[in-house]
């Protein structure tokens, strides 16, 4: 839970100056840069990161605290942001891991009855810059047409783009961001009925949202949360009923050690694999992943369940997917596909007990249409043996 300051307390110091978003293709989108507390009065050094966009209309606090955005500059497509403030209940991690936010309009006139602090004050206190007044439709159009690219937030008028900044943008790469968001040590979350938990689960935390933990805890599971690089032997020695492979940030190809450990768990324990966990399980079973043109980020992504012949609206946050046909013949069957671009959204494995999906069944934010997958996973545990 992230501590929030009271509205009655002084606002964290910040300043608003002219600034802009510079994309790797040379495009510049000017706006008002809200420089947060902690930056010196001198001009803020350009902040470089991968620029992505989220299409959700609500739930900005949950998406901002999703660790899967680690190191990214996030453009919000909904035009008005900040109108519900920030409250104590909607955190997916203790604090945001993203680098900056870009919006059309940032309001400080929030009216939600649970709001404890204004969004801009909260972000400023955490040292996160915000660029407002931007034509976010134009930014998103370029990202959709030319693909996800790096960019930078810069103070002043960054046009024309200086060669040094252009090179920084071009060469930027955040390697293995999972290491930035995974916990340092294991911890246990007791089941609500601690004396009689339904199941004891190991959770490999690659950047896990609290919504995943909450969904399992609500089903009376005891959870032991492990750092991303935990050896498989440690998990297997714990006497767990199953293992959860969580979501997380970055390129799955950076996570070769994590995928190797997942391979040692596959077939030994039932697995629920979500988002990055889904990709790592596919890698462990002989598959490969690929970068999507501009990723899936939002709470309104349609997915078709090929087994049941049904479609669902899902919450998603990923820039990579399992490459179709990359798994060895007969190892797995595609169970879910994106109705937007046909990419793989779910896999069923022939020889191991696993539920593996690219989307987020816990939502947070978004629709809970696919939360039944948690029940399906626990039913799998009940049938084990």
Pairing of strands 28-35, 15-23: antiparallel
- Candidates 360, 361, 275; CA nearest to 322 is 275
Q: Please identify which residue in the block is written with the tokens 């961001």.
A: 177
Contact status, residue 33 vs residue 16, Cβ threshold 8 Å? yes
Vertex 299 angle, CA 297 and 304, to 5°: 90
- The two tokens of residue 257 are 């050690």
Number of C-beta neighbours around residue 141 at 10 A: 11
- Cβ-based burial of 112 (10 A; exposed 0-12, middle 13-18, buried ≥19): exposed
Residue 255 annotated as catalytic: no
- The two tokens of residue 53 are 């966009």
Residue 187 annotated as catalytic: no
Distance between CA atoms of residues 114 and 94, nearest Å: 18
**Distance set, CA 238 to CA 105, 225, 242, 315 (Å):** 50, 12, 10, 32
Distance between CA atoms of residues 199 and 378, nearest Å: 8
Q: Which helix (H) or strand (E) element contains residue 201?
A: strand 199-205
Residue 296 annotated as catalytic: no
Q: Which of the following is catalytic: 30, 222, 345, 362?
A: 362
Q: Which of the following is catalytic: 275, 296, 301, 345?
A: 275
Q: Which helix (H) or strand (E) element contains residue 259?
A: helix 256-265
DSSP-assigned beta bridge partners for residue 50:
72, 150
Q: Which helix (H) or strand (E) element contains residue 23?
A: strand 15-23
Just list the catalytic residues: 275, 360, 362
């Amino acid at each position: 839970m992230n501590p929030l300051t009271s509205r009655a307390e002084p606002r964290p110091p910040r300043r608003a100056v002219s600034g802009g978003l510079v994309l790797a293709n040379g495009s510049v989108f000017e706006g008002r840069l809200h420089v947060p507390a902690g930056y010196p009065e001198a001009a803020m050094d350009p902040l470089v990161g991968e620029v992505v966009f989220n299409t959700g209309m609500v739930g900005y606090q949950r998406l901002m605290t999703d660790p899967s955005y680690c190191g990214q500059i996030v453009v919000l497509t909904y035009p008005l942001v900040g109108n519900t403030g920030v409250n104590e209940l909607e955190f997916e991690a203790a604090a945001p891991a993203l680098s900056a936010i870009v919006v059309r309009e940032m309001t400080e006139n929030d009216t939600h009855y649970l709001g404890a602090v204004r969004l801009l004050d909260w972000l400023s206190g955490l040292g996160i810059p915000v660029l407002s007044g931007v034509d976010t439709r134009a930014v998103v159009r370029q990202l959709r047409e030319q693909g996800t690219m790096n960019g930078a937030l810069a103070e002043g008028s960054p046009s024309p783009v200086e060669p040094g900044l252009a090179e920084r943008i071009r060469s930027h790469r955040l390697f293995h961001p999972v290491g930035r968001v995974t916990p340092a040590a294991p911890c246990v979350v007791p089941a609500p009925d601690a004396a009689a938990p339904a199941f004891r689960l190991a959770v490999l935390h690659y950047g896990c949202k609290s919504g995943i933990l909450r969904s399992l805890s609500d089903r009376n599971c005891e959870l032991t949360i492990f750092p991303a690089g935990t050896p498989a032997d440690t998990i297997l020695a714990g006497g767990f009923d199953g293992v959860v492979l969580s979501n997380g940030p970055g390129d799955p190809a950076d996570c070769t050690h994590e995928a190797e450990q997942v391979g040692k768990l596959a077939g030994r324990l039932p697995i629920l694999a979500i988002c990055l966990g889904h990709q790592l399980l596919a890698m462990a079973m002989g598959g490969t992943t690929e970068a999507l043109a501009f990723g899936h980020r939002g709470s309104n992504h349609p997915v078709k369940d090929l087994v049941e012949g049904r479609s669902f609206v899902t919450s998603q946050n990923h820039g990579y997917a399992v490459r179709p046909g990359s798994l060895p013949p007969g190892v797995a069957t595609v169970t879910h596909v994106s109705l937007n671009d046909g990419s793989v959204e779910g896999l069923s494995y022939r020889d191991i007990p696993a539920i593996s999906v690219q989307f987020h069944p816990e939502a947070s934010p978004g629709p809970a249409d696919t939360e039944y997958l948690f029940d399906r996973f626990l039913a799998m545990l009940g049938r084990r043996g």
